[in-house]
């Protein structure tokens, strides 16, 4: 993972925070930037592990920079399998909600569609009742 | 020959890590460097350890739960800021920063403006001492705290400041301080939850406390990296004692098919694999007492 320029990153972050919605309470953000994957190489993926709690609705807002081509794909995994992604049937959603029913460790994986170069911010929030 | 190369590289690494440590000017009381300890802990690879340390404790979520169950606010649960000068070691300052961070989340959630300023000052003072004060824009935080309409902004800025500080510490070989701050956050979060459970019992709160059985091994793994230091070793042993009680909590799981729906252009995933917590009242009392003892010992009551 490389570092995004501070100003671009802040702009992207602020825009993403607005997109998260007024009912979202900020918990954490993930900042990712990858160059294009080379032929024959695995698509680069960032991985972060978080504890999520039962009976909380989490929202992951995913914002890709328009300076690069890549669209960010977020996947949420438990220790065994992928639970949810914002990339379904070819469509990339900018937000996913996860109604957590089991407290535990989950893994947030972020990559860019088709391994294109990209930069993105994803904000993890919980939804206020 | 290979051995001498290996030892040579290790020595160079140690020398550099020592230089990095002393350059911060605040870590001198510890008898190790992060670089050395990561390779030495439990035989766990650094990448795996880094998996553990993200977002272990979220005081905002605990405070949100207390607010949701309509538990009344009480300042008797809070750690006093009167003894700030007594936190005179890096270890004590880092733990106290976590403790006050959790209290700040509680105060923010209940919008207790007058007291928030005391806790913001305490956080800023401890963060300055640990050379991470740059992440707390005290003037903006103070301005937000004095205007009750800015509650969301205050909460956001407080949490983000902690996140940025934590990331900085981990990226700059000061993960031991990050682990102490996380330990303080978790212990104070549990203290708030267990104290509220005494006066405002609620199934959601009871479950949240019992579910910490799942979280506490991660916290122990995090602190266990630095057990060569006697203060870390003591804290680790005290938390192991708390874990012994959590081990008696029974958590069962019920498998169910997840549900995915699209609503208003948003993708919603409902997890139907649920967990159930069984924790007798006597066990909750035991956990409450252990947490209270440990927390009071750490903040010097």
DSSP B22-81: HHHSS-TTSSS-HHHHHHHSTT--HHHHHHHTSS---HHHHHHHHHHTTPPP-GGGSPPS
How distant is the Cα of A110 from the closest Cα of chain B, in angstroms? 14
Q: What is the pLDDT of residue B40?
A: 36
Give the residue-averaged pLDDT of B128-142: 91
Is B61 in the A-facing interface, judged by CB distances under 8 Å?
yes
Instruction: Tell me what pLDDT residue A16 has.
Output: 95
CB-based contact B159 A27, cutoff 8 Å: yes
User: What pLDDT does residue B173 have?
Assistant: 85
Query: Which residues from A are below 8 Å from B270, CB to CB?
Result: 99, 101
Distance CA A21, CA B34 (A): 39
In whole numbers, what is the pLDDT of chain A averaged over residues? 90
- Of A49, A54, A97, nearest to B211 by CB-CB distance is A54
Tell the burial category of B72 from Cβ atoms under 10 Å away from its Cβ (0-12, 13-18, 19+): exposed
Chain B residues lying within 8 Å of A124, measured CB to CB: 55
Say what the pLDDT of residue B126 is.
95
Residue A7: pLDDT band by 50, 70, 90 thresholds? low
Q: Residue A54 is nearest to which of B266, B267, B275, comparing CB atoms?
A: B275
CA atoms of B111 and B273, how far apart (whole Å): 35
Residue A105 pLDDT exceeds 80: yes
The pTM (predicted TM-score) of the whole model is 0.85
Inter-chain CB proximity A26 and B214 less than 8 Å: no
**pLDDT of B221 above 60:** yes
Q: Which residue of B has its CA nearest to A27?
A: B159
A96 phi, psi to nearest 5 deg: -135, 145
Q: Quick check: B225 and B179 in contact, CB under 8 A?
A: yes
Three-class SS state of B107: helix
Q: Residue written as tokens 């209940």?
A: B110
- Which residue has better confidence, A3 or B99? B99
Which residues on chain A place their C-beta less than 8 Å from a C-beta of chain B? 17, 22, 25-29, 47-51, 53-56, 76, 83-84, 86, 88, 93, 95-105, 107, 124, 126, 128-129
> Is the pLDDT score of B57 beyond 70?
no
Query: Using 50, 70 and 90 to split pLDDT, how confident is the model at B171?
Result: confident
Q: Is 0.95 exceeded by the ipTM? A: no
What lies within 8 Å, CB to CB, of B247 at 6+ separation is B213
At B38 the pLDDT is 41
- Tell me the average pLDDT across B141-168: 86
pLDDT band at B42 (very low <50, low <70, confident <90, very high): very low
Name which of A16, A51, A85 to mutate to probe chain B: the one with the most chain B Cβ atoms within 10 A of its Cβ: A51
Residue from A9, A89, A97, A103 to probe the interface with B (highest B Cβ count within 10 Å): A103
- B54 to chain A, any CB pair closer than 8 A? The answer is yes
Region B180-189 average pLDDT: 94
SS3 B5: helix
* Spatial separation of the C-alpha atoms in residues B219 and A15, rounded to whole Å: 33
B84 vs A22: CA distance, rounded Å: 36
Residue B48 has pLDDT above 70, yes or no: no
Residue appearing with tokens 């793994």: B221
Determine the pLDDT at residue B45.
41
**Helix (H) or strand (E) run with residue B300 in it:** none
Work out the percent of chain B whose per-residue pLDDT is above 70.
81
Confidence label for A128 from pLDDT (cuts 50, 70 and 90): confident
As a whole number of angstroms, the longest Cα–Cα distance in chain B is 69
pLDDT beyond 60 at A69: yes
Instruction: Please provide the average confidence, as pLDDT, over all residues in chain B.
Output: 83
Q: Strand A95-100 relative to strand B266-270: parallel, antiparallel, unpaired?
A: parallel
Distance CA B259, CA B270 (A): 5
pLDDT of residue A34: 95
Smallest CA–CA separation between A79 and chain B, in Å?
12
CA distance A50 to chain B (A): 5
CB contact under 8 A, A84 and B267: yes
Structure confidence at residue B10 (pLDDT): 43
Chain B neighbors of A29, CB-CB under 8 A: 160, 163
pLDDT > 90? residue B36: no
Interatomic CA distance for residues A33 and A1, integer angstroms: 6
The residue among B5 and B72 whose pLDDT is bigger is: B72
> When comparing pLDDT for A93 and B38, which is higher?
A93
Q: Is B267 exposed, middle or buried (0-12, 13-18, 19+ CB in 10 A)?
A: buried
Set out the domains of chain A in order of their start, with CATH numbers.
6-127 (2.60.120.380)
Has residue B4 got a pLDDT over 70?
no
* B12 pLDDT more than 50: no
Chain centroid to Cα A47, Å, comes to: 10
CA distances from B69 to A13, B152, B203, B209 (A): 32, 19, 9, 14
Which residues lie closer than 8 Å to B280 by C-beta, 6 or more apart?
none
Nearest CA to B185 out of B213, B224, B219 is that of B219
Asked if residue A86 has pLDDT above 70, the reply is: yes
Question: How far off is chain A from B42, nearest CA to CA, in Å?
Answer: 19
């Amino acid at each position: 993972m490389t570092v995004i320029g501070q100003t671009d990153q802040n702009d992207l972050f602020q825009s993403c925070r607005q997109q998260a919605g007024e009912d979202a309470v900020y918990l954490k953000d993930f900042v990712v930037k990858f160059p294009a994957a080379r032929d024959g190489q695995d698509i680069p993926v960032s991985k972060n592990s978080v504890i999520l709690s039962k009976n909380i609705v989490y929202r992951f807002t995913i914002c890709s920079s328009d300076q690069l081509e890549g669209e960010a794909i977020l996947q949420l995994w438990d220790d065994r399998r992928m639970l949810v992604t914002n990339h379904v049937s070819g469509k990339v959603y900018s937000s996913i909600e996860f109604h957590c029913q089991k407290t535990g460790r989950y893994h947030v994986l972020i990559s860019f569609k088709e391994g294109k170069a990209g930069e993105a911010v994803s904000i993890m929030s919980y939804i206020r009742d | 020959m290979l051995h001498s190369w290996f030892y040579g590289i290790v020595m160079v690494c140690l020398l550099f890590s020592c230089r990095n440590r002393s350059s911060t000017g605040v870590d001198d009381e510890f008898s190790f460097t992060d670089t050395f300890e990561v390779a030495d802990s439990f035989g766990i690879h650094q990448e795996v350890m880094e998996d553990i340390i993200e977002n272990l404790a979220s005081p905002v979520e605990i405070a949100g739960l207390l607010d949701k169950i309509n538990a009344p606010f009480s300042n008797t649960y809070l750690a006093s800021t009167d003894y700030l000068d007594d936190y005179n070691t890096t270890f004590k300052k880092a733990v106290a920063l976590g403790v006050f961070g959790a209290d700040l989340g509680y105060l923010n959630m209940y919008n207790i403006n007058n007291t928030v300023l005391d806790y913001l000052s305490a956080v800023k003072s401890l963060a300055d001492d640990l050379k991470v004060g740059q992440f707390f824009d005290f003037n903006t935080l103070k301005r937000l705290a004095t205007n009750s309409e800015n509650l969301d902004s205050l909460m956001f800025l407080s949490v983000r400041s902690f996140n940025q500080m934590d990331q900085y510490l981990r990226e700059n070989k000061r993960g031991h301080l990050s682990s102490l701050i996380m330990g303080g956050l978790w212990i104070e979060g549990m203290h708030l939850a267990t104290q509220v459970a005494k006066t405002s019992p609620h199934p959601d709160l009871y479950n949240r406390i019992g579910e910490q059985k799942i979280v506490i091994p991660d916290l122990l793994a995090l602190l266990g990296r630095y057990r060569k230091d006697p203060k870390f070793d003591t804290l680790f042993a005290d938390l192991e004692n708390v874990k012994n009680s959590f081990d008696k909590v029974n958590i069962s799981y019920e498998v169910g098919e997840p549900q995915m729906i699209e609503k208003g252009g948003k993708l919603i995933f409902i997890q139907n694999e649920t967990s159930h917590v069984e924790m007798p009242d006597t066990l909750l009392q035991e956990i409450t007492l252990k947490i209270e003892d440990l927390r009071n010992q750490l903040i010097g009551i």
